[in-house]
Structure 1
Amino acid sequence: MSDPLFDDDDEANTPLTEEEREQLIPSYITLRSELNEAEQVNIGDALSWASARRRDVLDQNLLSELHRRMFGEVWRWAGQYRKSPRNIGIDAYLIPTEVRLAVDNARYWVENGTYPPDEIAVRFSHRIVAIHPFPNGNGRFSRLIADLLVEQLGRTAFTWGSASLVDAGATRAHYIEALRAADGHDFAALISFARS
C-alpha cells in the first residue's frame, strides 16, 4: 500500500507549494503516516500549552501563536499566514484583515449574546477555516479554537464526530457535508456534528 508524503490527490489536505514542502523540519519523515504522527504529537503539546494558560481565544496574536505551537516542531512556516493562493480560502493579501474581522465578529457575538455558546464557537471555527489563513492545518486549527472558545464560554469541548478527521472516511464526509451547509449559512448540521 502506497503512503506518499505529498499526495496532491489527497482531498483531506490542502496541497502545499514546493517552497512550503521544503520547510518540513524532521528529516526522518518520508511517509504521510509519519507526518500525521509528528503533527499529532505537536498538536497534543499545543493543547497542553493552551489549556494551561486559559487565555482569551479571541485574540489575533494568540491565534497565530497557537498555530505555531500546533505545527512548529514540524513546519518552519507554522504560525505564519500563507502567502500563496489555494483552491480554498480567500486571497492571501486579505488574510490579516479577514482574521481580524472574524475575531471582532465573534467578540461581538459573545458580548451581546447574539448566539448560544456552541453556535458562536462553530461559526467562528467555520469562518477561520473558510479564510484558510495558514499553508496547512487549518481544519485542525479551526476545530481546536472552537473547542477552546466554547470552553471559555462555559461549555465542554466538542467531540467532532468522536474520530480523527484526518483518516476517518465516513466521519470526514459528514464533516465536509456540514461545512458545505454552513457555507450556505445553515449551521445546524455543523453544530450537531461538533457535538456528535
Structure 2
Amino acid sequence: MALSVDVWSNCGSGTPNGKAGDRQGGGCQEGRCSGDESVGQVGEPGSSCWLCQVGVSNRVSCCTAVTQALMPLAPGYGETPLPHAELTALQTRIVDILDAPITRAAVYDLEQGVQDQVSEELITAAIEGSLHVDDLLSDHFVRDLHLRLYGEIWVWAGRLRQREVNIGVAPEQIAVELRSNLDNIQYRWEHTDDFTPRVLGVTVHAETVRIHPFTDGNGRTTRLLADLVYIAAQERADLQYDWDVDKTRYIQLLRRFDRSRNADELADFVGVQSIES
C-alpha cells in the first residue's frame, strides 16, 4: 500500500467507524474514559479526567510542554472547521465545551494537551523501569495507548480500523498482523542480535505504521510507542528519538521499509536526543 501524508500529520480528524449516533458515554464521567472499556480506561488520581487536568474550558488552555511525537499543523490548515462527518466522531463532551464552529486547531490543542500528559507519565515509567519492552510489544498496549491519547476526544479511540484506506493492511487482517508482528519483534529482541535499542524502536514504529491499525492518530501513537520502546530497551535510559526530520525523506524510508522490512536505514535517518532536552 502507498503511504500518505496522513502517516505524518494525523491531526485527529478521523471519521467514525460506525454511525453518527454511535457514541459511548458522552465524555468525562468522574475520570473514566467514555470509550470502549474492553481496551482499558483513561484514568488518573482524583476526580477529574485527562481533559480537566489539561485545563479545558470554553477556550482551551493546554500545558506548554510539546513532545517530539506531536507534529505541527500546516499553515492555514488549523482554521478549517471540522466537516459534519468528523464532528459526529467527537465525544459529546468535546462538542459541548468548544466554541462553534469547531476548528481543527481547537481539537489539535486538546489532543496536544492530552498527549503531553500521557507522554510524561509513560516516559517516566519507562525511564524508572516500571514499563518494560515486553509490556510495550503487545497489541493490547498499542490499543490502550491509542485510547489514552484520544479516548476523551474521539469515539474511534482504541478501536481497530474497520474500513479500507489508502494505507495499511486490510481491516480483517489488522488484529492478526499487529499481534503476530509485535510477537515476532519481541522474539527477535530477546533471542537474536538483530536489533540495537535504536533500531528496535524504529522497527516497531515502521511496522505499526505499515499495518495502520486505527482510523486516525496512527502517526502520533506509533512515534510515542517507538520512544517508549527505545527508552525501555536502553540499559541507561537517557535518549529518545528526534522526530524533527525531513518529512518527504521520512515517508520515502517508510515506503522502503514496506518493501524490505528492514528499518536500519530509517533508524539511521531518525535522530536521537537527550530525554532532558
Compute the TM-score of the two structures, normalised by the length of structure 2.
0.59
2:90 is matched with which residue: 11, 14, 24?
24
Is residue 219 of structure 2 the alignment partner of residue 157 of structure 1? no
- The CA deviation string for residues 46-80 of structure 1, in whole angstroms up to 9 with x for no partner, is 21232344422112212211111111121121111
Deviation at 1:101, TM superposition (A): 1.0
Name structure 2 gaps, 5 residues minimum: 20-84, 273-277
Deviation at 1:91, TM superposition (A): 0.9
Which protein is bigger by CA-based radius of gyration?
2
Letter in 1 for 2:109: E
Contact 2:10–2:220 (8 Å) recurs in 1:
no
C-alpha distance in 2 between matches for 1:106 and 1:188 = 14
Deviation at 1:10, TM superposition (A): 7.3
The range that moved more, 99-108 or 17-26, is 17-26
Letter in 2 for 1:36: Y
- The CA deviation string for residues 76-113 of structure 1, in whole angstroms up to 9 with x for no partner, is 21111111111111111111101101210111121023
Is residue 268 of structure 2 the alignment partner of residue 192 of structure 1? yes
Structure 2 residue aligned with 1:136: 216
Contact 1:45–1:69 (8 Å) recurs in 2:
no
RMSD: 2.4
Is residue 255 of structure 2 the alignment partner of residue 180 of structure 1? yes
Contact 1:42–1:74 (8 Å) recurs in 2:
no
C-alpha distance in 2 between matches for 1:76 and 1:17 = 9
Deviation at 1:31, TM superposition (A): 1.5
- The CA deviation string for residues 15-54 of structure 1, in whole angstroms up to 9 with x for no partner, is 7446572221221272222222211112112212323444
User: What is the identity percentage for the equivalent residue pairs of Structure 1 and Structure 2?
Assistant: 29
Runs of 4+ in 1 over 4 A off after TM superposition: none
Higher relative contact order (CA 8 A, sep 6+): 2
Q: Equivalent residues in 2 for 1:1-196 (5 A)?
A: 11=6, 12-13=9-10, 16-17=14-15, 19=19, 21=86, 22-25=88-91, 26-27=94-95, 28=98, 30-54=102-126, 55=131, 56-112=135-191, 113-154=193-234, 156-161=239-244, 171-185=246-260, 187-195=263-271
Letter in 2 for 1:24: L
C-alpha distance in 2 between matches for 1:179 and 1:10 = 11
Q: Secondary structure at the match of 1:158?
A: strand
Name structure 1 gaps, 5 residues minimum: 1-8, 163-170
C-alpha distance in 2 between matches for 1:129 and 1:178 = 12
CA, structure 1 residues 184+10, in 2 after alignment: closer, same or farther (shift >3 Å)?
Answer: closer
C-alpha distance in 1 between matches for 2:125 and 2:212 = 25
C-alpha distance in 2 between matches for 1:147 and 1:102 = 18
C-alpha distance in 1 between matches for 2:182 and 2:265 = 23
Compute the TM-score of the two structures, normalised by the length of structure 1.
0.81
Deviation at 1:121, TM superposition (A): 1.4
C-alpha distance in 2 between matches for 1:71 and 1:125 = 18
- Paired residues, number: 180
C-alpha distance in 1 between matches for 2:269 and 2:217 = 19
**Structure (1/2) with the larger helix percentage:** 1
The range that moved more, 185-194 or 87-96, is 185-194
Deviation at 1:173, TM superposition (A): 2.0
Contact 2:146–2:221 (8 Å) recurs in 1:
yes
